[in-house]
Amino acid sequence: MAPDDGSGWQPDAGHASRRLIERYQEVAQLSRDMLAAAHREDWAEVARLETQCRQRIEGLKRAATIEPLNAIEQQRRIELLRDILRADAQIRRRAEPWLLELERLVGVSRGADPTD
C-alpha cells in the first residue's frame, strides 16, 4: 500500500485549515526526529525519516494550493517553517563536519594575502 500523499484528500468546510496546519506540524515533527537521529549518528534513521518527510512535503504542497489559512494559522505556519529550517541546518552541520573545517579555512584564508 502506497503512503498517503494527500492527493486524494478533499477538505470539508471549517476543517481544511486545521488539516493543513497539522500537515506542517507533521513535517516539523519529522524534522525534529531527524535531528534527534543525527545527534545519535543514526544516519540510516535520518535517511528513512527524510523519505517520509519528502512524501509529506509533496502532499502538503498539493494541499496548500486548495486550503487557505487565516492570519493566525499563517503565523503558525511561518513558525513551523522556521523550526524546520533550523533543524535542517543543524542536521547538515552534524552530517557534514567537513563543512565546518572548510568554513574555518576560508575564514582564515580571507585575511591572508594569496600571493604570499
Q: At a CB cut-off of 8 Å and minimum separation 6, what does 21 contact?
A: 69, 73, 76, 77, 80
Write the secondary structure of 78-92 as one string of H (helix), E (strand) and C (coil). Answer: HHHHHHHHHHHHHHH
The whole-number average pLDDT for the span 84-111 is: 81
Residue 8 within any structural domain of the chain: no
pLDDT value at residue 59 = 87
Please check whether residue 23 is in contact with residue 76, taking contact to mean a CB–CB distance below 8 angstroms.
Answer: no
- Note whether residue 9 is domain-resident: no
User: How high is the pLDDT of residue 23?
Assistant: 92
The boundaries of the domain holding residue 50 are: 16-108
- Give the count of domains, the chain: 1
Average pLDDT for residues 4-14, to the nearest whole number? 43
pLDDT at 17: 52
- Is pLDDT larger for residue 86 or for residue 13? 86
Averaged pLDDT of the chain: 80
Burial of 79 (0-12, 13-18, 19+ CB in 10 A): exposed
